[in-house]
Amino acid sequence: MDHPSTADPDPATSTTSSSSTHSTTTTTTPSSLRKRLLSVDTSSRCGGSERESKARSEMAETERDVESAVPVPMSPAGRLFREKHFNCYIVAVIGLGSRVDVAAARAGLEATLVRHPRFCSVQVTDDASKSAKPKWVRTTVNLDDHLIFPDLDPTATSSSPDQAIEDYMSTLSTTPMDHSRPLWELHVLDFPTSDAAATVAVRMHHSLGDGVSLLSLLIACTRSAADPSRLPALPPPAAQQPRRREGGVAAAFVAWVWWCVVLAWHTVVDVVLFVATSLFLRDARTPFAGTDGVEFRRKRFVHRTLSLDDVKLVKNAMKCTVNDVLVGVTSAAMSRHYFRKTSDINSEKSKRRKNIRVRAALLVNIRKIPGLHVLAEMMKSSKSNGARWGNLIGYMGKRTVDRKKSSLEAIFTYRSGNLIVKLFGIKAAAALCYGMFTNTTMSFSSMVGPSEKVEFYGHPIVYIAPSVYGHPHALTVHYQSYMNTVKVVLAVDDAQFPDAHQLVDDFAESLRLIRQAASANS
């Protein structure tokens, strides 16, 4: 079922849709695509490092090619995010340490974001052929179509600014975007909140790229707060623990063979379970599970700030990874919420809930080179580029973190999805993914952000809170690190989780209890 209030115009049937913004905004919609050449000084605000030179060259090349570039076919993953049940959008609330300088923001956007190939392109499908694949076609960006200044109630923004932003972000989840333009928006909410002097909200269609791509692009649009002449330092890659090899070459060979056997076995089992999940293996019906049509309903985005030092303390005490700790915090928080919601049920049901199955679709970056990357490196088109731009994510139905680390399930789901698209079409791949999502309970993702304070076109960033909507889950959990903090961001079905703030508080309380236990046992 597709509701007109939430469905986007289909670019195959409409190229000039009505206004894409909420009725309270002051922007207008053009009746046709604008063809205006950009002329912006790309050397401003840039330092002299090799990395920044590459970024400037990439942006300049994009500007030169804006009219002449040939259409680029959309990837299978990008096409999947256009399907009715996966019409997905990424949203990111960014808290700023100063009020918004609109002129500086416009200049920064024109010098960076609007020159990116995906952010100056529209999705076009040949109407004459039903089998035609959508393509990215370059156009000229009118920044006034993408900078949105909502006209909110002054009483609400002054008396309860945090709630005003939360409510506004919730309305975006049911407000369609105009597919006759590049599919991104920057919403300016220029009033102070409890933890920021102003807020900007970025909304973009998921077909533009995945979290790694878009966060790398965001970093390319920022500068170090300590030294505005340079780009922020990228987070260091996770340290790889060297394997101890005892007993000589023979023992090492046996260990390698055993590792291969375990990897193959886990992959086969996980793939079978993935297919079974897509077809019939359904999670128990808990307060977290979504119902039919949840992907079309209004979402609410709530977030809390956690201490990265606390997470690392637990990591060191348990000799695990940061992601292991975050999965544990998520499990503990959901348990607290579940037992509070079901505390009044009878003893017979209490016995049944001991064996419930609750799984998450864990979004995994399957690039050969993990972590964030320099934007110019990501934009190289070579197939051998291990950090290339796009939607390079795999899905894993997850219960045991360590078990999944010795499996190729995520890579299999990505590559098999591409194969299914080639053999049977995008509708078959979408049906397979839809079954996987509707038969699991939630989505989970974590991203590493800048380790130092950064400025967004001259505005100090206080926090980054990303999320996503448009997929068939009632609960999505995102973790985003920045400096010495971690933001936990929940996207929940607004009607199903009227106590969303209590749920996100459970995450903070769970980390506190886990840290307390780790400190006592260390």
Q: Which domain holds residue 300?
A: 253-343+358-370+379-447+473-520
414 and 485 share one domain: yes
What CATH number is given to the structural domain containing 111?
3.30.559.10
User: Residue 99 domain-assigned?
Assistant: yes
Query: pLDDT (tens digit, 9 = 90+) per residue, 462-480?
Result: 999 999 999 999 999 999 9
Confidence of residue 44 (pLDDT cuts 50, 70, 90): very low
User: Residue 137 domain-assigned?
Assistant: yes
User: Residue 37 domain-assigned?
Assistant: no
User: Residue 477 domain-assigned?
Assistant: yes
Selected residue with higher pLDDT from 489 and 40:
489
Integer angstrom CA distances of residue 461 from 133, 445, 482 = 39, 22, 9
Selected residue with higher pLDDT from 451 and 3:
451
Query: Of these residues, 187, 206, 373, 471, which one is catalytic?
Result: 206
Q: What is the mean pLDDT of residues 26-42?
A: 31
Distance (Å, whole) CA 322 – CA 449: 13
330 and 212 share one domain: no
What CATH number is given to the structural domain containing 514?
3.30.559
82 and 194 share one domain: yes
257 and 211 share one domain: no
The model carries a pTM of: 0.76
Query: pLDDT (tens digit, 9 = 90+) per residue, 404-421?
Result: 555 555 566 666 666 777
Q: Is 206 a catalytic residue?
A: yes
Query: pLDDT (tens digit, 9 = 90+) per residue, 220-261?
Result: 888 999 998 888 877 666 555 555 555 678 888 888 888 788
Give the chain's mean pLDDT: 77
Selected residue with higher pLDDT from 515 and 214:
515
Residue 357 token pair: 């199955």
Which among 353, 222, 208, 351 has a CA at the least distance from the CA of 288? 353
User: Residue 457 domain-assigned?
Assistant: no
Give the residue from 207, 224, 241 where a domain finishes. Answer: 224
401 and 504 share one domain: yes
212 and 297 share one domain: no
Distance (Å, whole) CA 209 – CA 159: 37
Residue 315 token pair: 């990591």
Query: pLDDT (tens digit, 9 = 90+) per residue, 77-126?
Result: 888 888 888 899 999 999 999 999 999 999 999 988 888 888 999 988 87
Helix (H, G, I), strand (E, B) or coil at 293: coil
User: Residue 443 domain-assigned?
Assistant: yes
Residue 342 token pair: 């079901």
Strands 475-482, 442-447: pairing is parallel
User: Residue 48 domain-assigned?
Assistant: no
